[in-house]
Structure 1
Amino acid sequence: MAEALPSLMLPASSWLRAAAHRRWLDAQGQRLLDFSKPARVPDGFAPLDDDGRLSADAGADAILTARMTHVYAVAAGRGLPGCFPLATHGVAALLGPLRDERHGGWFTGPPADGVPPDGGRKQCYLHAFVALAASSAVVAGVDGARPLLEEALAVWEHHFWSEEEGVFRESFAADWSDEENYRGANANMHAVETCMAVADVTGRPVWRQRALRIVERIIHDLARRNNYDVAEHFDRNWTLLKDFNRDKPTDDLRPFGMTPGHFVEWSHLLLKLEAALLRESGRAPAWLLDDATGLFQRGMAAGWARDGQPGLLYTVDWNLEPVVHNRPHWCQAEAMTSAAALLKRTGHREYEHWYRTIWDYIDLYMIDRRRDGWIQELDRDNHPSEVVYAGKADLYHAWQATLTPLLPLAPSFATAVASLDQ
């Protein structure tokens, strides 16, 4: 893949300049793709165990299906065999068994005997990934992707976007009644990623402006005034819910306290938004870089090696004391991605140090050379664990970590891949 980095900003010795490092990234990404291919089931994609096998009763998971559809669509754009049919399978599943034909939107899994899982609640988190998958599939030329994107955006915009608040609402009942009394940073963070991708694919800049409004509220307003501690849980009046899920510290989407991995994930999203706005009009708020830098510094200070062992831990309390010491793979992937983005944007050697340090950690502890794939979670002593995440279900975070260092900060994944020389 031809390199499109702002190379003048990079130190001469940067790994990002090294052809061997880029080949290593590419090889790791292809290993992850191959490991995940058995996840296909009739209604979408299902979680794999540590050995890359489906359970006997494996059923499609809509979030996983949307994420894998996105990944395989982008990989298809790179000309990797086997990926286009899997992206096509994912689009068909999202247009079929995972879609609510009666009320519109998507369930978290196909209904069993007519009854959808989770009471049929419609989650913004899921719908953001459906829109992301559809946008990537459009770029890849997958059949059905365009109508999927049009429907996904219509649902997401009409039901979830709050123009008054400048954020996305969290969830509803199946018939779009009973809005949840909750505003979540996590769903809105992933909405920023999707908004940027959708703007690139549709040519509608309003989606970038929505991403900016989300970032302004959750980061530039709320987090910045608290030293870039990113609070996750609020009610619909934006009152902070400090005790939310105190009894569920290992919840996989809404854990108690704060998540340093999200601090750093927001960091690189801000840099990508800055780059996207600059490409669009030549103008972007100067505070995007300042806030991205503050988020990375705070996230690494809060979460990296807090208990004497390397790795970014899962959660901390309001005093930044560790709550769940386990190291999810996605936290390391997002920290590495943030270091790479800051390195590209600034050229500061500090970020080269972090980029290498985090990849060294992932290589030595998380890449599973016995059973393949990445170990999804390690304990505080860096031994395999399944307290938060079981098996090896997730392709999205790990695979994107192998691709982002090869791409410019903007445009978004699928559009960037399509625009580069292969």
Structure 2
Amino acid sequence: MNTFQPAFSSWLNAPAHQQWLADEGLRLLAFAKASKLPEGFGHLDEHGQLPADAQAHTLNTARMTHSFALAHIQGLPGFAGLVDHGIKALNGPLRDAEFGGWFAAPEHCDGDTGKAAYLHAFVALAASSAVVAQRPGAQALLNDAIAIIEAHFWSEEEGAVRESFNRDWSIEEAYRGANSNMHATEAFLALADVTQDNRWLSRALRIVERVIHGHAVASDYQVVEHFDQGWQPLPEYNHDNPTDGFRPYGTTPGHGFEWARLLLHLEAARVQVGMLTPGWLSVDAQKLFESNCRHGWEVDGAPGIVYTLDWSHRPVVRQRLHWVHCEASAAASALLKRTGEAQYETWYRRFWEYSETWLIDRTHGSWHHELDPQNRPSAEIWGGKPDLYHAWQAVLIPRLPLAPSMAWALAQVSSPALM
């Protein structure tokens, strides 16, 4: 595998653009600090305030802990205590002390006692970043997360993760999801670095082989999101609930971009440690990107990428979600680094121009998480501004190599040889 220096003037090499990304990251971090609650981190409203009835959530707590750990690793003061707070919450009220694993909310106060692979992938990611940040309690959290993944979620037979279980792990959901496996791939890349165990890279490749090189390639590089327990596609899943925030009907262009980037990270990670690395990883990444640009960008005549498409490439949910555009720009930067091709520079700039024009909220802070089809702020799918993770990573990824994973790469940058 090669990485290329573009033969043209690239924003990735421009000091002013690098500074702009860094400044935007600081702005995002300052906004997110207000999400702290006694039992973790909660959802901020559009003005950056916690609602009166705010409660902690495992998803937000894990994502915030990961994000604040990345800030601390860089040498930014003021985030160590927030990482520690997240670790204590994940080791405490968000964890099921009786049966193991993590609830969606403290002591399952929301009535949900289930155990979801999606949440557990983020706990593993948070723990791995906190270990790199050298925070107290992080290693115990990581050991616990790995043990749960090994015992319940990873299926060696399937080469993928199982979706969810009831509280005592006795009943398994008869469903398989691309989304949970995508974030498991992300977590496994981080686990490979922090544990120095390449089996996580082998597992990540098996997931990608099934979900992308198998199903997505066979579907014209549209990500098939929903499957039955035997990995047969469920193309009509949630047809009557198309705006679901985690399992929407159809295909999701944002996930196509996210997978494209993860394929390149996986390729780079395997090459870095000398593992056999299939050439189709970069080919599939490029084709995923091209397909989702072609079918997702401005397909209804307005700027932006729609949330979902049906299987004939027609828009279903036309809202513009901030995370989709974060992943699009991050994928463009990764492909630009991998190939040096000018088309990715064009897309990279186009996506950032869109985000600056429509999504970045210079008045109230952070980013609008959702825009309607006319690019006006809305809240049909995602209300408020609870998500630091996607935008924060979007301003970090262009400044980092494709491998190792983010926390590990930041630690290397922040720890030069002593003079």
TM-score bucket of the superposed structures, by smaller chain: over 0.9
Out of 137, 140, 145, the position equivalent to 1:152 is 145
- Once the 2 structures are TM-superposed, how far is the Cα of residue 119 of structure 1 from its aligned partner? 2.9
Does 2:187 match 1:191? Answer: no
Q: What are the residue-to-residue correspondences of 1:26-65 with 2, within 5 Å?
A: 26-65=22-61
For residues 119 and 399 of structure 1, what CA distance do their matches in structure 2 show?
A: 29
| Counterpart amino acid of residue 119 in structure 2 | L
1:381 matched residue in structure 2: 374
Assess if the C-alpha contact under 8 Å between 2:4 and 2:339 holds in 1: no
1:219 to 205, 208, 212: 212
User: Which residue of the partner structure matches residue 22 of structure 1?
Assistant: 18
Matched pairs, number:
414
> 2 CA distance for matches of 1:356 and 1:148?
39
User: How far apart are 1:335 and its partner, in Å?
Assistant: 0.4
User: 2:156 & 2:366 partners in 1: Cα distance?
Assistant: 41
Give the superposition deviation at 1:72.
Answer: 0.3
Alpha-carbon shift at residue 284 of structure 1 (Å): 1.2
1:87 equivalent in structure 2 = 83
Within 1, Cα distance between the matches of 2:60 and 2:21? 23
Give 5+ residue unaligned stretches, structure 2.
none
Aligned mate of 2:303, from 304, 307, 310: 310
- Shift of the 16–178 alpha-carbon distance from structure 1 to 2, 3 Å rule, reads same
Give the superposition deviation at 1:282: 5.6
Distance in 2 between the 1:272 and 1:11 partners?
23
Matched, 1:333 2:329: no
Q: CA deviation at 1:240?
A: 1.3
- Residue identity matched to 1:320: H
Instruction: Give the AA of the match of 2:99.
Output: H
Q: Distance in 1 between matches of 2:395 and 2:9?
A: 19
Is it true that 1:97 corresponds to 2:90 in the alignment?
no
The answer to whether the aligner puts 1:73 opposite 2:66 as a matched pair is: no
Rounded to whole Å, the distance in 2 between the matches of 1:54 and 1:89 is: 17
Q: Is 1:122 matched up with 2:118?
A: no
The alpha carbon displacement at 1:62 in A equals 0.4
TM-score by length of 2: 0.97
Displacement of 1:118 in angstroms is 4.4
State the match for 1:3 in structure 2: none
- How far the C-alpha of 1:310 sits from its partner, in A, is 1.1
Q: Work out the CA distance in 1 between the residues paired with 2:372 and 2:400.
A: 32
Contact kept? 2:45, 2:385, Cα under 8 Å: yes
- Hey, what's the Cα distance between the residues in 2 that align with 1:142 and 1:383? 41
Structure-2 separation of matches of 1:310 and 1:11: 29
Give distance in 1, aligned partners of 2:92 and 2:403. Answer: 32
State yes or no: 1:344 paired with 2:344.
no
1:180-230 Cα deviation digits (max 9, x unpaired): 000000000011110000000000100010000000000001111221111
Distance in 2, Cα, partners of 1:172 & 1:421: 40
1:170 pairs with 2:166: no
TM (norm. structure 1) is 0.97
Which of 108, 122, 131 is residue 124 of structure 2 equivalent to?
A: 131
CA deviations on 1:221-274 (whole Å, 9 max, x unpaired) are: 111122111110001011211221111111100001110110111001000000
CA distance in 2, matches of 1:388, 1:224: 28
* Alignment partners' CA distance in 2, 1:8 and 1:120: 48
Q: Distance in 2 between matches of 1:129 and 1:11?
A: 38
- The DSSP-based 3-state class of the residue aligned with 2:273 is helix
Residues 8 and 294 of structure 1, relative CA distance in 2, 3 Å threshold: closer
Are 2:261 and 1:268 aligned?
A: yes
Structure 1 residue 283: Cα displacement: 3.5
Secondary structure of the residue that 1:49 maps to in structure 2? Answer: coil
2-side partners of 1:178 and 1:332: how far apart? 37
Could you tell me how far 1:81 is from its partner in structure 2?
1.4
- For residue 19 of structure 2, what is the amino acid of its counterpart? R
| Map of 2:136 onto structure 1 | 143
2:355 to 362, 370, 381: 362
SS in 1 for 2:51: coil
**Distance in 2 separating the partners of 1:367 and 1:315:** 22
Q: For residues 368-419 of structure 1, give each alpha carbon's deviation from its aligned partner in whole angstroms, at most 9, with x where no partner exists.
A: 0110110001111111011110000000001000000000000001000000
Q: How much has 1:25 moved relative to structure 2?
A: 0.1
Q: Which runs of 5+ in 1 are unaligned?
A: 1-5
Which of these residues, 386, 391, 394, is aligned with residue 384 of structure 2?
391
8 Å contact kept, 1:128–1:190: yes
| Kept in 2: contact 1:108–1:118 (CA 8 A) | no
- Partners of 2:112 and 2:69 lie apart in 1 by 30
Deviations 1:74-117 (A, max 9, x none): 11000111111101100000000000000000000012xxx543
Residues 398 and 183 (structure 1 numbering): CA distance in 2 closer, same or farther, change over 3 Å?
same
1:327-367 deviations in whole A, cap 9, x for unaligned?
A: 00000000000000000000000000000000000001111
Partner of 1:161: 154
Aligned 8 A contact 1:107 1:116 in 2: no
Matches of 2:96 and 2:109, distance apart in 1 = 9
In 1: Cα distance, 2:327 partner to 2:111 partner: 28
- Identical aligned residues as a percent: 53
Distance 1:118 1:220 in 2: 38
CA contact (8 A) 1:107 1:117 kept: no
Query: Are the structure 2 counterparts of residues 415 and 214 from structure 1 closer, same or farther at C-alpha, using a change threshold of 3 Å?
Result: same
